[in-house]
Amino acid sequence: MAQVLVRKLDGAVVSALKARAAANGRSLEEELRQVLAAAARPTRQEALAWAAAIRELSEPVDDIDLAELIREDRSR
């Protein structure tokens, strides 16, 4: 695991994060992990753009009978 050191945080920011951690029943360290992990996740717009890019790489499947594929799979 990597470590990050953040210097010169405003005292009000630290106090707010401590209060948030206490309200969530977590340590400050765990709360900060949660905050940073959430901030690192792709936004909805980024995820949709990624999905669209993958979709463009795929062949169209308009002529496939999905019901027939399900029947074949169930008969195995």
Three-class SS string for 31-53?
A: HHHHHHHHHHCCCHHHHHHHHHH
pLDDT at 32: 97
Q: Which residue ranges make up each domain of the chain?
A: 11-74
Do the Cβ atoms of 31 and 21 come closer than 8 Å?
A: yes
Rg of the chain (C-alpha set) = 23
Over range 1-22, report the average pLDDT: 96
What DSSP state is assigned to residue 2? -
Model-level pTM?
A: 0.64
Question: pLDDT tens, 18-45?
Answer: 999 999 999 999 999 999 999 999 999 9
Question: pLDDT tens, 51-69?
Answer: 999 989 988 777 888 899 9
pLDDT at 12: 98
pLDDT at 59: 80
